[in-house]
Amino acid sequence: MVDMAKPKVVIGILGGICSGKSTVAGLFERLGCGVVDADAIAHELLEDSDIKKEIRKAFGGEVFDEAGRVDTEGLAQEVFGDKEAVARINGIIHPPVLAGCAELMAELNKRSDIKAIVLDIPLLAEAGWLRQCDKLIFVDCEDRKRADRAAEKGRFSKKQLKKRENFQIFLDKKKKIADYIVDNNSGLSATAEQVDRIFTIIIDKK
């Protein structure tokens, strides 16, 4: 039985774009952890009328589809490579996303069935949320594999991948501050074995 009065261990996931951070978070969820998925929260917020008004005001109607939904890929193409545009969209999206993350963390911390809380937040370090974490895990994956995964998902090219990461804290810095490294260059079973081992160590040290 998990002690509800004691704050749960918070595990932050670090790594490059398409490194497999969400996969690792999902493996922790399978072990009884609660996951704070910032991308899911952001996706919901893009349906909010006030958020859409702010985006339309900042970037125009070109970043919306015919149904009036935000075209996330079109928006990404619009902002990445332009520091001012990145700052504008982050100013619109990040505050409510982080507020949603904090709210979900508080809810998960009250649940007796949750063994630990995992933060799957793409810009965890950039958003200043490292201090929220008791442990940090870096998901290591070769550049070529990440570029291949991005291409398979139809998201962006290797050049676009590098451009996006230019706006993030360098990966080697994130790797250095991590408590644990997960090598995600092999199959899912190999990654799962590493997650199982790390989870056991973290929970046993509580």
Domain ranges of the chain: 10-204
Q: Measure CA 58 to chain center.
A: 24
169: confidence class by pLDDT, cuts 50, 70, 90 = low
Are the C-beta atoms of residues 2 and 115 closer than 8 Å to each other?
yes
**21-52, pLDDT tens digit by residue?**
999 999 999 999 999 999 999 999 999 999 99
Give percent above pLDDT 90 in the chain.
Answer: 68
Looking at residue 10, its pLDDT comes to 98
The token pair at 74 is 């079109």
Which H or E element spans position 197? helix 188-204
What mean pLDDT value characterizes the chain?
89
Poorest-pLDDT segment among 10-14, 146-150, 173-177, 194-198: 146-150
Q: What is the mean pLDDT of residues 66-88?
A: 87
In order of 103, 175, 191, the CA distances from 184 in angstroms are 30, 13, 6
Q: Is the pLDDT of residue 13 over 70?
A: yes
Q: Is the pLDDT of residue 135 over 50?
A: yes
Helix 72-79 to helix 49-59 angle, to the nearest 10 degrees? 40
Q: Name which residue leads in pLDDT, 168 or 35.
A: 35
The CATH number corresponding to 10-204 among 3.40.50.300, 3.40.50.2000, 3.40.640.10, 3.50.50.60 equals 3.40.50.300
Which H or E element spans position 191? helix 188-204
**173-206, pLDDT tens digit by residue?**
999 999 999 999 999 999 999 999 999 999 987 6
Q: How far apart are CA 21 and CA 184, in angstroms?
A: 9
Placement of tokens 């704070």 in the chain:
36
156: confidence class by pLDDT, cuts 50, 70, 90 = low
Q: What is the mean pLDDT of residues 124-129?
A: 90
